[in-house]
Amino acid sequence: MLLAEPSRTQFDLNFSIFGFPVRVHPLFWVMGLVLGFTGGGSDGIWIISCMLAVFVSILIHELGHALMIRRFGNEAHIVLYAMGGLAIEGRPRSGDPFGNPWESHTPDYGQRARTPGEQILISAAGPGIQLILAALIAGLVVATGGSIHANFNGLIPLPVPELGGGLAKNANLEDLVYVLLQINIFWALMNLLPVLPLDGGQIAMQLLTQQDPWGGMQKTLWLSVITGGVMAVIGALVMQEMFLMLLFGSLALSSFLTLQQLGGGGGRRPW
């Protein structure tokens, strides 16, 4: 999700992966805590498993974006924070190898402008690499004597692992694998919905503005409003997930307010 980057704190975790500087804001860990408690568990190992799964999944997601940005000629750095993650184009400007969020290099505007297809690939790379990770995890479960069965209780049938062989008695590992599969399938698919500023919304914007340079942005916003509103209703009434309802409801409202600022499209005045 592409929102505002938080300011730097003395409690940030800094490291590098594949040459990309990574900064983890301390509030990022709250997501794992919330997932653990709302997932029906209060056991310490369960909470740690949720925090680890969230960390790995969002880092992989942003790494997918960053690798594709590099593929098309620029570098990037990654920030994980309370609202998710950011793959920010350009390298930090300051002497600190992990940089200051207010001192980032902007892209080199002397470079060739990216095509809509390249921008789409950058947006799709995040959820795409998550789905690949989920497939690899599921493959390892089956290869080690375990099995995967589907859970049809939600909107999307999601895999539930049963470890086999010598791993069958390791309930904590099974919990970790379960959470990793849920996050990297469910949230990857949710992120592909045409709702701004999710990756699916970015892809829809590229497609619609390429087709209609004048009205494409308004069409994208209307698609975001409708899809976000439908998902909010599904989250509340079908899945009974308050977080899902609030997330997509707020994104739909944000797109609607942006439409008002643009005049609603078609030359009309705002409502």
pLDDT grade for 185, boundaries at 50, 70 and 90: very high
Q: Considering only CA atoms, which of 18, 5, 4, 20 is closest in space to residue 75? A: 20
- Predicted structure pTM score: 0.85
Q: Is the pLDDT of residue 4 over 50?
A: yes
* Proportion of the chain above pLDDT 90, given as a percent: 45
Q: How far apart are CA 252 and CA 227, in angstroms?
A: 8
- Calculate mean pLDDT across residues 162-185: 86
Report the range of poorest mean pLDDT among 96-105, 182-191, 211-220: 96-105
Mean pLDDT of 29-35: 77
- Taking the chain, what is the end-to-end CA distance rounded to the nearest angstrom? 28
pLDDT at 218 over 80: yes
- Tokens 């940030």 sit on residue: 12
Q: What is the pLDDT of residue 95?
A: 47
Mean pLDDT over each residue of the chain, to the nearest integer: 84
Between 176 and 268, whose confidence is greater? 176
Q: What strand order describes the sheet that includes 20-24?
A: 13-17, 20-24, 76-81, 84-89
Cα distances (angstroms) measured from residue 117 to each of 121, 210, 251, 256: 6, 10, 25, 27
pLDDT for 168 equals 77
Which residue, 190, 158, 184, 246, is CA-closest to 55?
Answer: 184
Task: State the DSSP code for 265.
Answer: S
Of 25-39, 119-133, 195-209, 228-242, the range with the lowest mean pLDDT is 25-39
Q: What is the pLDDT of residue 56?
A: 94
Percentage of the chain surpassing pLDDT 70?
84
The residues near 5 (Cβ < 8 Å, ≥ 6 apart) are: 79, 81, 86, 88, 101
**pLDDT score, position 102:** 43
Q: Which residues fall within 8 angstroms of residue 143, CB to CB, at 6 or more apart?
A: none
Q: Work out the average pLDDT over 150-178.
A: 81
